[in-house]
Amino acid sequence: MTVPAFGLGTYRLKGQVVIDSVKNALELGYRAVDTAQIYENEAEVGLAIAESGVARDELFITSKIWVSNFAKDKLIPSLQESLKKLRTDHLDLTLIHWPSPDHEVPVAEFLGALLEAKQQGLTKEFGVSNFTIELMKEAIAAVGAENIATNQIEVHPYLQNHKVVEFAQRHGIHITSYMTLAYGEVLKDPVIVEIAKRHNATPAQVTLAWAMQLGYSVIPSSTKRANLESNLKAQTLTLTDHDMAQIAELDRGHRLTSPQSVAPEWDK
């Protein structure tokens, strides 16, 4: 099973806002939804999915285990709690959200627990998020690269994360890009604006198409139905080699997410 190329992110969306976003997205044709324990919106996402009427087997639901639940005796119970909130008996993909701070819980322990969760049918696949090359090496040693469905990392035109991407892809680990639009920063970039004009597209469509053309999955979020609908069209936009080369030159190592409490020592 592969991670869908295009899905809906729900980071920072809560209450009725996330319910409306998920409902609108599902009405428009989205079928992959990404949430996390720390987002504190799993119950609302579950409600929106239930009220949408979309059959469970048509959906790809991802959630992420928070660092306080990494210990072997906590991980599976916390996943079961997420399942209750999401009103489902399984996830399609469960991710370790951030590395364990100061290696408090060994990689082998929490990935071993996720492998057990997969064997119990609680999740179809599992993977990691915000893992560096060294952490991916530990993960591969613990459960094998074939069991790591994806590494979800910050990737956008201003932070292209080449070393991590190359290592992951060399070992058959899929990349999911989060924050692909860089909180909207790249949408004003003159290069991306010009490419968008050439294709009669929006800067957001260009940026999302760029990431998908590199083989990554994307999970953009929006509270506006019009933007949700517009973003979908990135799936049918094909950029030229020249477009891709121009965007490649925008890389400046500009990282937007690095919370001190959980961030690892990033690969430069």
pLDDT of residue 1: 60
pLDDT of residue 107: 98
Whole-number Å distance between alpha carbons of 266 and 40: 26
Q: Which residues are annotated as a binding site for substrate?
A: 97
Question: 80 pLDDT band (50/70/90 cuts)?
Answer: very high
Mean pLDDT of 165-194: 98
pLDDT of residue 77: 98
pLDDT digits (tens, 9 = 90+) for 4-60: 999 999 999 999 999 999 999 999 999 999 999 999 999 999 999 999 999 999 999
- DSSP for 222-242, please give it: -S-HHHHHHHHGGGG----HH
The full set of domains in the chain, from first to last, is 8-182+216-221 (3.20.20.100)
- C-alpha distance from residue 79 to each of 73, 96, 148, 149, 218 (Å): 11, 11, 17, 17, 23
Question: Which residues are designated catalytic?
Answer: 39
pLDDT of residue 76: 98
pLDDT of residue 268: 87
Q: Which residues are annotated as a binding site?
A: 97
pLDDT digits (tens, 9 = 90+) for 233-252: 999 999 999 999 999 999 99
pLDDT of residue 209: 98
What tokens were used for 64?
């992420």
Pick from 245, 259, 239: nearest CA to 196: 239
pLDDT of residue 185: 97
